[in-house]
Amino acid sequence: MKIAFYKYQGTGNDFVMVDDRNLQFPVSKEFIASICHRRFGVGADGLILLQNAADYDFRMVYFNADGGEGSMCGNGGRCVVRFAKDLGLFTDQTKFIAVDGEHEANVEGDIIRLRMSGVKDLERYDEFDFMNTGSPHYVTYVEDVTDVDVVNIGSEIRYGSVYGPKGGTNVNFVEVIEGNHLSVRTYERGVEDETYSCGTGVTACALSAHLRKGWESPVKVETIGGTLEVAYSVNSEGELSDIYLIGPAERVFEGELLAES
Whether residue 79 lies in the annotated active site: no
Q: Is the bond preceding 218 in cis, omega lying within 30 degrees of 0?
A: yes
At 191 the three-state DSSP class reads coil
Rounded to an integer, what distance in angstroms lies between the CA atom of residue 233 and that of residue 135?
20
Q: How far apart are the two ends of the chain, measured CA to CA in Å?
A: 5
In angstroms, what CA-CA distances link 84 with 94, 124, 206? 9, 37, 27
> What is the DSSP code (8-state) at residue 146?
G
Q: Which of 36, 73, 79, 205 is catalytic?
A: 73
For 212, the enclosing helix (H) or strand (E) is helix 199-213
Whether residue 205 lies in the annotated active site: no
> What is the DSSP code (8-state) at residue 117?
P
For 233, the enclosing helix (H) or strand (E) is strand 226-234
Buried-exposed string 213-242: b where 16+ CB fall within 10 A, e elsewhere:
eebebebbbbbbbbebbbbbebeeeeebee
Tell how strand 136-141 and strand 181-188 pair up.
unpaired
Tell which residue, 104, 106, 107, has the closest CA to residue 115. Answer: 104
Q: Which of 36, 79, 198, 205 is catalytic?
A: 198
Catalytic residue ranges: 73, 198
